[in-house]
Amino acid sequence: MKNILIKNTAVVLAMGLIFSCNAVKNANNTQKGAVIGAAGGAVIGGVVGNNVGKGNTALGAIIGAVVGGAAGGYIGNRMDRQAERIEEEIPGAEVTRVGEGINVIFNEEAGVYFDTNKSDVKGTSATTLDKLAGIFMEYPKSNILVEGHTDSAGSDEYNWKLSQQRAESVTNYLISKGISNGRFTTKWYGETQPRESNETAAGKAKNRRVELAIIASEELKEEAYEKTKG
């Protein structure tokens, strides 16, 4: 799994506390939540999230939802396990553990793709999402943000609508497999958040994607606080 290297050098809190991002860089996955929390919890999470999330709203959502402290370490441990399961079951997916959540990117090379100008889930994409649904069933205390993105071919308006249709198609497919609709948030961004240059065919293929952010539900947060209090 890739570790996100947060480029900010520090965040200064009102009481003069400085949070070094090197602590997050050097921490293992489970420790990251605890490191963030030790320096100010959700306040720091929100500030760092605003910076990491520029051009990547999925990562911003993960960091912005941080709990921190011992509870954050508890959540991070469970996210480690869930991320490992996704990598085991779906080798083509790009899985990134960051903070207390998971970022998963699917594109044409990673098992979830769509026919040109289409948004229905079928074939290999259905098989991949079936595996993902099974993992979500194993970890019912996580919530999922589903984002749709496109390349730059076509008009802005057309791409915006297409990204909406594809994101909603993925969400609806997972719900049809028994995942509670209350766990999902669905958003779409058209061509406004490219990962690569749209000047090449390879770059466009990277940009035609569905991206997931997996974060702790309120139930998991309450469990984490309860298990780590005192």
The CATH number for 70's domain is 3.30.1330.60
pLDDT digits (tens, 9 = 90+) for 72-95: 999 999 999 999 999 999 998 999
Query: In this predicted model, which residue has the larger pLDDT, 175 or 15?
Result: 175
pLDDT the model gives residue 16: 27
User: Which of 97, 83, 108 is CA-nearest to residue 166?
Assistant: 108
Structural domain that includes position 132: 2-228
pLDDT the model gives residue 2: 55
Class of residue 58 by CB neighbours under 10 A (exposed 0-12, middle 13-18, buried 19+): buried
pLDDT the model gives residue 110: 80
Query: In this predicted model, which residue has the larger pLDDT, 77 or 41?
Result: 77
pLDDT the model gives residue 4: 37
Mean pLDDT of 208-226: 96
Average pLDDT of the chain? 80
Pair of tokens at residue 201 = 């065919």
Residue 14, pLDDT above cutoff 90: no
What is the number of structural domains in the chain?
1
